[in-house]
Amino acid sequence: MVLAKKYIVLKPFFGEPKNSDFQIVEERLPEIQDDEFLAKAAYISVDPYQRVKLGDKYPCDMIGSQVAKVIESKNKDYPVGSWVMGHFGWRTYTITKPSDEKFCNQKPYLYRLPDFGNLPVSLGLGVCGRVGNSAYFGFTQICQPNAGETVVVSGAAGAVGQIAKILGCRVIGFAGTDEKCKWLTGELGFDSAGNYKNVNIADFLRENAPNGVDCYFDNVGGELSSIVISQMNQFGRVAVCGAISSYNETEPENRKATILQPSIVSKQLKIEGFQVNRFANRTTEGIKQNLQWIQEGKLKYREHIIDGFESTADAFIGLFRGANTGKALVRII
């Protein structure tokens, strides 16, 4: 008999998520049945979307993905010892099967990790998982960049800007600390990077993108994005990936930003939101492309790893304070 631990969310988040919104409970797992396997969590992913994508019934199990190792199995496609990515929520042990989807209806719900060679399995939650695929497909398919174009990325400490450099673009990033900006222009090769907390965004862009912006990959929304969009070129393309600047905001007044329509019309812009699930049937293609770029030394990654299941809520809260540089993960020890 296995005793699992899982997080439940007691009430809707209000403002920044708090430890008191969560409770850890224990669950006795039954014996596995035909087609099922038992997986032990190795890494749990904490993600901004978890702040805004819970349902409306409380208490509820916390949603989320994890990389886990199969430790008991009655499913030949998931033998003991194999590594999986699954949307099991924040929990230590899971019994499931491919047709299950009892933990959520995410697509893809479950898959075996491709062979990452010498690289860590934790990449399956970051650059070689759906986060990396959001960058790869969101940027290439929505922004449709051309070599030589100027690209701006907000929430820039991820893969998008690097992919833009690989594709021959000029890249400007915005991030929330000077240390992150130094990493962007240093190791990652961005052409420039500004700390959105202490630069004048409009002046910074006029100086660093004097010929205007062709593509904007928007992770944050709000006024920063309105300013970037106001400096776009004719027929510019915007991929709206997220709006983290608004996720903890409870006052509707503070969710307002400068009107976009004058820029959209006069510059004939294309602005398109996307959810990475749209590219679910190309999951392996995206993972393999990012993996290949890592192996070729063209794509670098950082992981922000916090140890211990009991630290998962803290790791999640840290996302909204910019505590992570790179993918935020909890290692289950």
Ligand X SMILES: NC(=O)C1=CN([C@@H]2O[C@H](COP(=O)(O)OP(=O)(O)OC[C@H]3O[C@@H](n4cnc5c(N)ncnc54)[C@H](OP(=O)(O)O)[C@@H]3O)[C@@H](O)[C@H]2O)C=CC1
Which of 276, 294, 306, 313: binder of ligand LGFTCAMA (CB under 6 A)?
Answer: 276
Q: Which of residues 60-99 bind ligand LGFTCAMA (CB under 6 A)?
A: 65
Residue indicated by tokens 């919104």: 21
CA distances in angstroms from 241 to 19, 126, 275, 286, listed in the order given: 27, 15, 7, 16
Residue 177 interacts with which of ligand X, ligand LGFTCAMA, none, CB < 5 to 8 Å by class:
ligand X
CB of residue 128 vs ligand LGFTCAMA: minimum separation in angstroms?
Answer: 11
Instruction: Give the one entry of ligand LGFTCAMA, ligand X, none that residue 50 binds, where binding means its C-beta sits below a cut-off of 5 to 8 angstroms depending on kind.
Output: none
Return the residues of window 124-143 that contact ligand LGFTCAMA according to CB under 6 A. Answer: 125, 129-131, 134
- 124 lies in the binding site for ligand X (CB under 6 A): no
Q: How many residues bind ligand X (CB under 6 A)?
A: 28
The interface partner of residue 45, options being ligand LGFTCAMA, ligand X, none and the CB cut-off 5 to 8 Å by kind, is ligand LGFTCAMA
Judged by CB, which is closer to ligand X: 145, or 222? 222
Q: Which range touches ligand X (CB under 6 A), out of 1-9, 33-41, 111-119, 243-251?
A: 243-251
Minimum separation from the CB atom of position 82 to ligand X (A): 25
Q: In this chain, which stretch among 47-55, 154-162, 199-207, 262-270 interacts with ligand LGFTCAMA, using CB under 6 A?
A: 47-55
Sites for ligand LGFTCAMA among residues 246-275 (CB under 6 A): 275
Distance CA 186, CA 71 (A): 42
Residue with Cβ nearer ligand LGFTCAMA (232 or 276): 276
d(CA 59, CA 13): 11
Q: Which residues pair with 232 in a beta bridge?
A: 213
Among 161, 176, 236, 286, binds ligand X (CB under 6 A): 176
Least distance (Å) between residue 279 CB and ligand LGFTCAMA: 10
> Whole-number minimum distance, CB 243 to ligand LGFTCAMA, in Å?
5
Interface pick for ligand LGFTCAMA out of 3, 25, 52, 259 (rule CB under 6 A): 52
| 277 is a site residue for ligand LGFTCAMA (CB under 6 A) | yes
Q: SS3 letters for the chain?
A: CEEEEEEEECCCCCCCCCHHHEEEEEEEECCCCCCCEEEEEEEEECCHHHHCCCCCCCCEECCCCEEEEEEEECCCCCCCCCEEEECCCCECEEEECCCCCCCCCCCCCEEECCCCCCCCHHHHHCCCCHHHHHHHHHHHHHHCCCCCCEEEEECCCCCHHHHHHHCCCEEEEEECCHHHHHHHHCCCCCCEEEECCCCCHHHHHHHHCCCCEEEEEECCCHHHHHHHHHCEEEEEEEEECCCHHHCCCCCHHHHCCCCCHHHHHHCCCEEEECCHHHHHHHHHHHHHHHHHHHHCCCCCCCEEEEECHHHHHHHHHHHCCCCCCCEEEEECC
From 12-20, 65-73, 145-153, 322-330, span contacting ligand X (CB under 6 A)? 322-330
Kindly give the pairing relationship between strand 83-86 and strand 110-112.
antiparallel
Which residues sit at the interface with ligand X, rule CB under 6 A?
A: 47-49, 131, 134, 155, 157-158, 175-177, 180, 219-220, 241-245, 274-276, 319-320, 322, 324, 327-328
Which residues sit at the interface with ligand LGFTCAMA, rule CB under 6 A?
A: 45, 47-49, 52-53, 65, 106, 125, 129-131, 134, 242-243, 275-277
